Amino acid sequence: MAKKPATAITPTRAQDYSQWYQAVVKASDMAENSSVRGCMVIKPWGYAIWENIKEILDDMFGQTGVKNAYFPLFIPLSFLEKEAEHVEGFAKECAVVTHHRLEQSQGGGLEPAGKLAEPLIVRPTSETIIGDSFSKWISSYRDLPMLINQWANVVRWEMRTRIFLRTSEFLWQEGHTAHSTEEEAVKRGEQMLDIYTKFVEEYLALPVIKGRKSPAERFPGAIDTLCIEAMMQDKKALQAGTSHFLGQNFAKSSNIKFQTRQGAEEYAWTTSWGVSTRLIGGIIMAHSDDNGLLLPPKIAPSHVVLLPIIKKDGDNSMVMEFTEKLAKELREQFYHHKRIGVEIDKRDMGGARGWDWIKKGIPLRVEIGPRDIAADSVFVGRRDRDRRDKESFKKDRFVGEITKILDEIQENMFDRALCFRNENTKKIDVKKDFRDFFTPKDQSKPEIHGGFALSHWCGGEECEVKIKEELSVTIRSIPFEKSEEHGKCIYCKKPSEKMVIFAKAY
């Protein structure tokens, strides 16, 4: 029997998906747990991915007229209390500041002192604090639309945490807009969902399903929540972006009023929308393998690593001269939004050096030795292929074709993820089949299940709650496509005109 090739990550995906994920994060050197419970330290390789996400999205937002601003981290408790449904949705996750200084106790330690007149909530989301500013900035229809975005950190006191996916503190962007008409606000919400879809599919190589949330899954206080959902390799859903139509609910609680052209006074129509560092978790779970991280080239911190073969006691000047010249030629080229990023790894580590970069997910590895230089060639390994599958290129050809190769990797990663999702999405009309689809066949691996079920739903909250209680499955999306079709609810058999996506989710 042929020996299976070694993998860099243990356990593998098949052995323990959850532990595999944690191992990939560690092996790729992207982030680590902080000494503060539930928080993470994002290391340079991981933060560079977030900076690329931020740069690309910021440009996409700006093209639609959105401007960046910054608002306080602390929100007065009274602000949240103005919007009852909103505060109820976040109450259990709020971190609360009640004192403003520390004093030495009689025992020699430090204790809180200076109790605040009003408790402050550490920002879980900013609708209320931004609404307060909007109420001061907006007085006339001439001030509208107001299109604001902020890049910030937020705190939601999570009980179970996992790096990038669910941490007590995380990074995100949150857009907030105010409009003079309902129609304009609805269109803005749809426009931002389209931007998220374009970004996630074209840059993160993640195919998504566009749709809206059921009333039970909406953002607290929203009239409507639009979403994009992606499938991970354990067949769970990951919410990759949301856009909320808030109606006039927050405008009324924050007193955001404007004078119309006719001189009447009305409340503004508002939206909010956002994505977070959870997207990095999505990249890991959708693309990575048992050798570590795979990064879509369009958001990778660097695109290629040059691995000159260094002799411990020899003259390496020729190899390094060739390597530096190649790096310069590559860095002069642009790949989409930025110059081609080149790393040069001169460490004397033998084969372990290449493994390091495989685990970090860099798209291309280029080995350079005396024989390659003599042939004016380089030896190239692609991260989307078997690590042993390498190809020799003439140097000039490699330089001329690198952007094409990177695009091939990007497209290949998207196609793989799309094929996986399609293979694990099933239309189900029979209740028993639905239960079986989400019931693990191997009870020792409760996370293994079928994937996405496209099934009918009557629209009733009771059926939605029962399915969640019995199977830990929720309605992830009411898809814009294929949502109108007559049938019977998968749970109660009442007439249904909606096909929805049921799945287990992060």
- Residue 446: per-residue pLDDT: 61
pLDDT at 3 over 80: no
- Residue 234: per-residue pLDDT: 96
459 within 8 A of 500, measured Cβ to Cβ:
no
Per CATH, domain 17-103+113-287 is 3.30.420.40? no
- Residue 359: per-residue pLDDT: 98
CA 273 to chain CA mean position, Å = 13
For 337-378, how does the pLDDT look when each residue is reduced to its tens digit (9 = 90+)? Answer: 899 999 999 998 777 899 999 999 999 999 999 999 999 999
- Residue 482: per-residue pLDDT: 67
Res. 484 pLDDT band, cuts 50 70 90: low
Stretch 17-31: mean pLDDT = 97
The residue count for the chain: 506
Q: Would you identify the CATH topology of the domain 302-405?
A: Rossmann fold (3.40.50)
- Residue 240: per-residue pLDDT: 98
Res. 444 pLDDT band, cuts 50 70 90: low
109 within 8 A of 190, measured Cβ to Cβ:
no
For 103-137, how does the pLDDT look when each residue is reduced to its tens digit (9 = 90+)? Answer: 998 888 999 999 999 999 999 999 999 999 999 99
For 175-224, how does the pLDDT look when each residue is reduced to its tens digit (9 = 90+)? Answer: 999 999 999 999 999 999 999 999 999 999 999 999 999 999 999 999 99
Which element (helix H / strand E) includes 115?
strand 110-122
pLDDT at 44 over 70: yes
pLDDT at 5 over 80: no
Determine the straight-line distance between the first and last CA of the chain, rounded to whole angstroms: 39
| pLDDT mean across residues, the chain | 94
Q: Would you identify the CATH topology of the domain 425-503?
A: Translation Initiation Factor IF3 (3.30.110)
Domain borders along the chain are 17-103+113-287, 302-405, 425-503
How many C-beta atoms lie closer than 10 Å to residue 347's C-beta?
Answer: 10
378 within 8 A of 395, measured Cβ to Cβ:
yes
Res. 396 pLDDT band, cuts 50 70 90: very high
Looking only at Cα atoms, what is the longest distance across the chain?
Answer: 85
- Alpha helices (runs of H) in 247-297, residue ranges in sequence order: 249-254, 278-287
DSSP class of residue 337?
T
Which element (helix H / strand E) includes 227?
strand 224-231
pLDDT at 95 over 70: yes
The pair of three-digit structure tokens given for residue 334, joined into one six-digit string:
């642009």
- Residue 45: per-residue pLDDT: 98
